[in-house]
Structure 1
Amino acid sequence: MSVFQKLTKVAGRSGAALLCAVAVVGCGSSRHTHTTVDEESPRQLLAEERPARQARVEPGPVPSRPEEKAFGARYATPAQCEVAARRLLATSRDEAWAALKSCVERTHFTLLNALLSDAWAEELRVRPDAAQVIAQVVAWRGGSVEGELQLLHARKVPIFGLSAAVAQPEMYKGRYLLLRAQVADVRSEDDKPTVWLVEQGMGSVAREQSVGYATRKDSVRVHSGAVGGNVGLLGPSNLGGQISTSEQEVSSSTVQRFDNITDDTGREALGRLQKPDPFFAPGKDFVVLARFDGLRVTSSGEEDDEDAPKLPVLTIVGYYTPHPLVVY
């Protein structure tokens, strides 16, 4: 074989090798979409290993949202709860308000001054349930409504007393009223109960209460003797006898205590409920939040008689049982 023929044969083999190489690349590309486990790329291995690594990480507890009622239960005192709720105002005012409501519901929240502070002033102005939150705090503080209204009015909170509404019914019609009242009677008409409310004033009576140990000392003294001598016409005689005296001494330490008492103010009202409520029962005192609907002539009077007796009519928004201890 000549040298030329040898070169031609080698060139032919190189061209075939080149075509085979191109074909291999093309076949390799088509195989990549159907790879077996042994032919997996490093990127695929990393993607499959990542979930395994994440599974080994212990997930932390999911924090509860402030609007949950359990928010208030996480704090030992109402002051701590209110501070925590106030901090949320910077991030979400809705969550902060929900947290404050949880504080009021789950703790003995008597911090009316904190609620009326500048931090919550905007919420008290725009929140539709702000009046109910205030009424609940007033009940926690013992239900001394007359004194609490003075604090509310100092902060320009538009909640008023029954006496003001009766004196100027046109001015206060449609406004919120707050009163301490006893349920005297409940009557239902068309499944909408009407409640007869008797307003109660809050007062106190002083008394002395013993503290510590009391000491008591009893003593008896006996004096005896005899006298002898001449007693005139009777001649000689002896006289004898005894005299006893007793002493008693008692000492104790006392402090002055005050007991809360309620008394009728002389004002009554008719309250309307949306539906019967077995817990709003006669004979019990409640702090009542209501909307003033005006005055209505009683059954003993005539509509056209200006001097006819009238009763205020209220739409009851909420009621709360007052705490037996009053916060001054």
Structure 2
Amino acid sequence: MSKGVARSGAALLCAVAVVGCGSSRHSHSVDAQESQRRSMEERSALVDRGEPAPRPSRPSEKAFGARYATPAQCEVAARKLLPTSQDEAWVALRSCVQYSHFTLLGALLSDAWAEELRVRPDAAQMIAQVVAKRGGSVDGELKLLHERKVPIFGLAAAIAQPDIYKGRYVLLRAQVADVRSEGDKPTVWLVEQELGSVESEQPVGYATRKDSVSVHSGAVGGDVGLLGRSNLGGQISTSEREQNASTVRRFDNVSGETGLEALGRLPNADPFFAPGKDFVVLARFDGLRTTSGGSEDDDDAPKLPVLTVVGYYEPHPLVVY
């Protein structure tokens, strides 16, 4: 066989191969379109018969929280998943809390989520995160938690009865005063903060101002006794000032020390858990430890509460009441 015939045969095989491959791709495309059409017809038939359509594949956790315009809509959608899958519902609720400004503590503490809050290991962290997003007014939020029998407590109660609260969760607003290394694990010196407000007057709208000065002058002549007749002259000036302004009362949130301190243990060094800022801290209460210079046998020796930090969250500057 000549080289020209061989090349022609090879070219023919290549052409057949290309046509075959093109036919295969077209066939796969038609099959995919046909499969999609049948799926849509099956869904329509199920809806016509009043049967529920098959559940779509579960979206990512972030995608669920991002698809709703408001946290309230997101929570309602997550709650609707409870009858079919409690795990999916909890993942959805966690997405609502993490990926939106979720401040609906009342909805989180409702009867619908009561069982999940009791059994889920990350429930306390979710509550602490919502408290931080509501502004971090821990004292007021603990009252709401205790009304629903949620076992998260304040630092003062734990210090007062250390044997009862040992091993339980405590929630506090605190600043990091110092970071130290104790063995392989770092420790932080926590200074508890309380949230208050300061009132001030803030000008709003337009202010008007009016200044005026008036001068009066004259002369008086007459007999002034032994000096005989004399003329007296002079002037009197007066000034007026008027200013009008509209103001509104403003309340700014400020935090101050409560006088309570604690030693917090961290699993690893964390550069973001830094001094000078307020945090809402969730921790386990490990009991009281006698400070340096005191004796363990001395009941009156100064003691410091010891905490294992579970999580911390930066509070939002605006407080939700």
1:301 aligns to 2:287 (yes or no): no
1:244 Cα shift?
0.9
1:67 Cα shift?
4.9
For residue 174 of structure 1, give the secondary structure of its aligned residue in structure 2: coil
From 221, 236, 239, the counterpart of 1:246: 239
1:234 Cα shift?
3.9
Gap runs ≥5 in structure 1: 1-47
Q: Distance in 2 between matches of 1:255 and 1:278?
A: 40
Q: TM-score, normalised by structure 1?
A: 0.80
Q: Distance in 2 between matches of 1:108 and 1:227?
A: 80
Structure number, greater radius of gyration: 1
Identity across matched positions, percent: 78
Tell me what 1:285 maps to: 278
From 150, 156, 167, the counterpart of 1:163: 156
Tell me what 1:217 maps to: 210
Larger mean CA deviation between 225-234 and 215-224 belongs to 225-234
Asked whether the equivalents of residues 67 and 95 of structure 1 are also in contact (C-alpha less than 8 Å), the reply is no
Query: 1:195-234 counterparts in 2 under 5 A?
Result: 195-234=188-227
Tell me what 1:101 maps to: 94
From 17, 33, 41, the counterpart of 1:55: 33
For residue 268 of structure 2, give the secondary structure of its aligned residue in structure 1: coil
Deviations 1:94-126 (A, max 9, x none): 111111111111111111111111111111111
Tell me what 2:127 maps to: 134
Tell me what 1:120 maps to: 113
Deviations 1:131-166 (A, max 9, x none): 000000000011110110000001110000000100
Query: 1:33-52 counterparts in 2 under 5 A?
Result: 52=30
Gap runs ≥5 in structure 2: 1-25, 41-54
1:189 aligns to 2:182 (yes or no): yes
From 144, 147, 157, the counterpart of 1:151: 144
Asked whether the equivalents of residues 67 and 99 of structure 1 are also in contact (C-alpha less than 8 Å), the reply is no
1:71 aligns to 2:49 (yes or no): no
Q: Distance in 1 between matches of 2:27 and 2:267?
A: 62
Deviations 1:189-240 (A, max 9, x none): 3331111111111111111111111121111121122222343444443322
1:49 Cα shift?
8.0
Q: TM-score, normalised by structure 2?
A: 0.82
For residue 83 of structure 1, give the secondary structure of its aligned residue in structure 2: helix
Query: 1:10-29 counterparts in 2 under 5 A?
Result: none
Asked whether the equivalents of residues 209 and 254 of structure 1 are also in contact (C-alpha less than 8 Å), the reply is yes
Amino acid at match of 1:213: Y
Q: Distance in 1 between matches of 2:210 and 2:61?
A: 63
Say how many residue pairs are matched.
280
Tell me what 1:258 maps to: 251
Q: Distance in 2 between matches of 1:215 and 1:249?
A: 8
For residue 262 of structure 1, give the secondary structure of its aligned residue in structure 2: strand
